[in-house]
Amino acid sequence: MSKRVFVGGLHHESDTFNPIITSREEIWVTRGRDLFAKRESSASGIINTLVAAGYEVVPSLVARAVPNGVWDHEYYQELKAELLQGLAEAGTIDAICLSLHGSMRVDRIGEAEQDLLQAIRELHPTTPLFTSLDMHATLTRRMRHAADGFVGYKCAPHTDTYETGIHAALMVIRTLGGNKKPTMAAVRIPMLIAGEQSETSVEPMKSLIQELRTREQREGVLACSYLLGFPWADGRENAVHAVVVTQGDQAQADGLAKELAQIFWSRRKEFGFYNETRMPSDALKATRESIEQGVYPVVISDSGDNPTAGSSGDVTSFLSLILSDPVLSKLDPPLLYQGFYDPEVVKQAFNTGVGASFDCLLGAKFDAVKSKPVKARVTVRSVKNKWEGANGADLALLDVEGVDVVVASKHVGCYDPQMMRVLGAEPKERKAIVVKLGYLEPEIRCIAKRSMMALTTGSSDELFERLPYRNLPRPIYPLDGEFEAELELI
């Protein structure tokens, strides 16, 4: 009889500075046999690897949402109960392999992964339990001691999600095929790092990831990971962690985790914004100069309000600055801005119709603290009903006082240029484009003749000193400058 492995997961990056509660309407769930459909995800990597190796996969559910604020408490409890019920009814299970994010948080609970893993441990206290994690997972002590092994993504942007699922499944296979219980060690590194400072194609992350891969080739080592934490969550255990999983050798795991932590800490001063990065007004000045020189399209990241990092997507400060610019607000063709989360304005656009105009208050519907709505008379350029590329959101392209603005009825990522194209706006034909992003995804990057990141405000503010941390453990680098770090096992 083939060995049986229970598979499921929850995936979300939760920004605690964003007041939005991620609701059940924004969460999509894949259940049962539907999990066997081919997808480029860590869950698919897990399932396909186990099936190919002759294991019986017992599928549960995988729930996901676009990064946003913390999850709705009641819906999380429903999904958790459903997953646990499936596990309880599954019969004999030889191992559990999950696809988790690592920085998911739930209203009134906090860190979701430690809550879920501890509940699973109550049902299966000794069953081997492994999980893939996002590179930006936030490890906690409770989470670390509730599993046998973690492996995180090694690429940022995250182009290796499927491969990380394969890696998690291989840890299951090697464990069930041997007679040694896996051992894991983790060392806390007191640092905060934004994704925009840790792309793995450049230093120092390029060689730091190579340090992991080199050690994974050693006898008895199952996985090595750097889990960078999530800076836009005010957690009591937020930090970078070096994590090592071995086949039964705790001393080896401890030693490698300490070694990797020391290497990472020694390179702390090398992290920085390696793309062109400017304060908002300076970014607009540089854009004007670039256009005058014939170097365009210029793509600017509105990084402080990046929905794919969990921000609300409705902070208007940068748009207001552009509207006050006598050049950029009057470009021909107009500056293209993607985009804003404002279902009320989208509804008005659909009701008014293409070509018609209406008065509205755009933005600041969900986060009314960090900015104010833009009061404007807008003209509807085009609309798109329930676009599949944005999780079924309704989209509208509005002329807002000389600037073309994409507005969505749902909280969606702004990384896909197809969102502009389905509204009839070809970004390659524009001189200036603004996207609510941090580092540019490849699809956007290839359009830009020049790109820069504007250090705007919002719930994904890249300048951490502007964020109202209350629970963050101190001291922490770089907020507290230089200090002697205690790199301790957790």
| The two structure tokens encoding residue 104 | 């998911």
List the domain boundaries for the chain: 4-267, 277-461
| Contact present, 152 and 134 (Cβ < 8 Å) | yes
| Contact present, 150 and 244 (Cβ < 8 Å) | no
Fold of the 4-267 domain:
Rossmann fold (3.40.50)
Whole-number Å distance between alpha carbons of 222 and 246: 5
| Residue-level pLDDT at 206 | 97
Q: What is the mean pLDDT of each run of 10 residues along the chain (490 residues)?
A: 94 97 95 91 97 97 96 98 98 97 97 98 97 97 97 94 98 91 97 92 96 97 98 96 96 98 97 93 98 97 96 98 98 97 98 98 97 97 95 96 98 94 97 94 89 97 96 96 95
pLDDT in tens, 140-186: 999 999 999 999 999 998 999 999 999 999 999 999 998 788 999 99
Half-sphere exposure of 96 (CA within 13 A, CB side): 30
What are the strands, taking DSSP E only, across 65-124?
95-100, 105-106, 110-111
- Look up the pTM and report it: 0.94
pLDDT in tens, 184-229: 999 999 999 988 899 899 999 999 999 999 999 999 999 999 999 9
| Residue-level pLDDT at 26 | 92
